[in-house]
Structure 1
Amino acid sequence: MVKINILYASTEGNTTSFVTKLTDIAAENGDIVVARCIGEETDYANETAPFVAIVPTYLTGGTGTGPEVTEIFTNALGDYIAFGRNRQYLKGVIGSGNRNFNVQFNLTATRYAQRFNVPMLFAYELRGSKFDAEKAYHIIKPLFGE
């Protein structure tokens, strides 16, 4: 049995829906997902085990990818990862977004991966499908052991 730790942000329930699918896939394979939603009300804590971050894309300030485009709603997760030594346990980032936003699709997760110098592992649209959750599971499971 592999224990997969996930920290995520969800404002409209899309990411929570994806995490539920991912949790179900892991359980079908005899593994366990321990997931925590990080928001503005979350108290900072020192992480002590590896984790993957899952972050949706919510932006304001334009239609491109430049510095005028800023993150909204997901900053609490970024601040939590930056707290103390938490970043040393971050193994990678999974992102979501709406493909209708073209170059901004998955931009938040791409920025997290760059900011924390970890791989961008996978991207899915909106709530993701069961197939997306299966792909993500097979990508992240090896990061936590076999």
Structure 2
Amino acid sequence: MKVVYLSLTGQTRKFVQKLDMDLLEITPTNPYLSIHEPFIVVVPTYEIEATEIINDFIETGENQNYFKGVAGGGNLNFGNLFVFTAKDLAKEYNVPLLHTFEFQGNDEDVQKLKKAVKDLG
């Protein structure tokens, strides 16, 4: 399954590179790409103004039909706002929140997300 991600500081990129999966980074210059295969989204936690390009990607073409789940990274010091971007995407698009991790994650986070993706089918 493809992993579509947004990385503003590099932490999310460092995490997804550990997954050894097919990756696609969404940037402000390429949010309107259409893909025709199942994917999950991995996002950092930032204000909507910084992360709305991931919504642009999901809503491009038929992408939403292939969107299977979301994972999010953040800082536990955010308290209730920890991974709110991923939680909001899961709710808005009715997909499962597969995993949450702090900063660039660790080996256990990698294994948990890989298992969650495998369980999706």
1:30-61 deviation per Cα after TM superposition (whole angstroms, max 9, x unaligned): xxx110110110152322100000011012xx
Give, in whole Å, the separation in 1 of the partners of 2:4 and 2:50: 15
What are structure 1's unaligned runs of at least 5 residues?
A: 24-32, 60-70
What are structure 2's unaligned runs of at least 5 residues?
A: none
Map 1:1-146; keep pairs closer than 5 Å.
4-23=1-20, 33-42=21-30, 44-59=32-47, 71-143=48-120, 145=121
Identity %: 37
Give, in whole Å, the separation in 2 of the partners of 1:43 and 1:54: 14
CA contact (8 A) 2:3 2:23 kept: yes
1:88-146 deviation per Cα after TM superposition (whole angstroms, max 9, x unaligned): 10000001110101000010000001111111111000110011101111111232x4x
Give the number of the structure with larger relative contact order, counting CA–CA contacts within 8 Å between residues 6 or more apart.
1
Q: Aligned residues, how many?
A: 121
Give, in whole Å, the separation in 1 of the partners of 2:10 and 2:49: 16
Give, in whole Å, the separation in 2 of the partners of 1:37 and 1:123: 19
* Residue aligned with 1:52, SS: strand
CA contact (8 A) 2:31 2:56 kept: no
CA contact (8 A) 2:31 2:54 kept: no
TM-score w.r.t. the length of structure 2 is 0.94
Q: Which one has the largest radius of gyration?
A: 1
1:19-38 deviation per Cα after TM superposition (whole angstroms, max 9, x unaligned): 01111xxxxxxxxx110110
Shift of 1:73: 2.1
Structure 1's consecutive aligned runs of 4 or more residues displaced over 4 angstroms after TM superposition are: none
Amino acid at match of 1:112: L
Amino acid at match of 2:102: E
Shift of 1:75: 1.4
